[in-house]
Amino acid sequence: TILDAETWHIQGGLRIQTLGPFRSWPAGADQPLSAQQWGSQLGRRIMAYLLTEGYTGRGGITREKLLQEFWGRGNAGGSLRVILHRLRSSVRCPAAILFEGDSYRFNWDLPGIRFDREQLDAFHRKGMALATEGRRDEAREELERAEALFRGDYLEGFDEPWASQARRTLRSSRRAILEKLVELCTGLERPDAAAFYLDTLSKVRT
C-alpha cells in the first residue's frame, strides 16, 4: 500500500526505511526506534533479512534457514521465538511477522504500511510508463519522487551477502532512474536539473 506522509501520519501505520540507514517507526510513532527500543540488534537484523529476502515473491523464510543464517549450527529455536516476540512488540504490531507452516514472513498486507522500497518501485514503474507514453513532465515528477527516497545505500551498515546483493540491485535501479531524469530534463529544457542529476549519477557506485 502506498501512502503519502500526511495520510500515513493520520492512520498511524508502520513505516520502514531501508534506503539508507535501516529505521522503523512503530505504528503511531513520530520517531524511529532507538537501538535500545529494537529489543536486540539481532532482532533488527532478522527484520531486515525478512524484508529483503521475502520482498520479491512475498514469500516466507523457513525456520531452519533463519536458524542457519543467524545461529549457524546451534539450536536456537527458543531464542528465535523470544526475539520475534520482542520484535513484534517493539514495532507495536503483533501481525508484522507471521508464522505459516514452517516459515516466517513479513506481513505485506498490513494496513497503512509505508515501506520505502515498495514506494520506490511504484514510482519507478509509473515514471517509466509515463515516459514511454510521451508524458514527459508527469514522468519526471514520478521519477523525482523515486530518487528522493534514496537517503543512501540500501541497508547501510549491513555487510551480509543478502544485503550486498540487494544493494547492488537498488544501485542499478537508481542509475536507471537518474539516467531517465537526465534525458527527460534535457528534453524539457531544464538544463540545471539535468546537470544536477548527471552529477548525482556520477556518484552512484556500480
pLDDT tens-digit map of 158-203 = 999 999 999 999 999 999 999 999 999 999 999 999 999 999 999 9
Give the pLDDT score at 74: 61
Would the pTM of this model clear 0.85, i.e. be above it? yes
List 104's β-bridge partners, or say none.
61, 99
Q: Is the pLDDT of residue 4 over 90?
A: no
If you average pLDDT over residues 70-87, what whole number do you get? 82
If you average pLDDT over residues 99-107, what whole number do you get? 94
Which of 161, 15, 73, 69 is closest to 83 using CA atoms?
A: 69
Higher-confidence residue of 52 and 72: namely: 52
Pair type for strands 61-62 and 103-106? antiparallel
Other beta carbons within 10 angstroms of residue 97's beta carbon come to 20
Which of 180, 117, 192 is closest to 144 using CA atoms?
A: 180
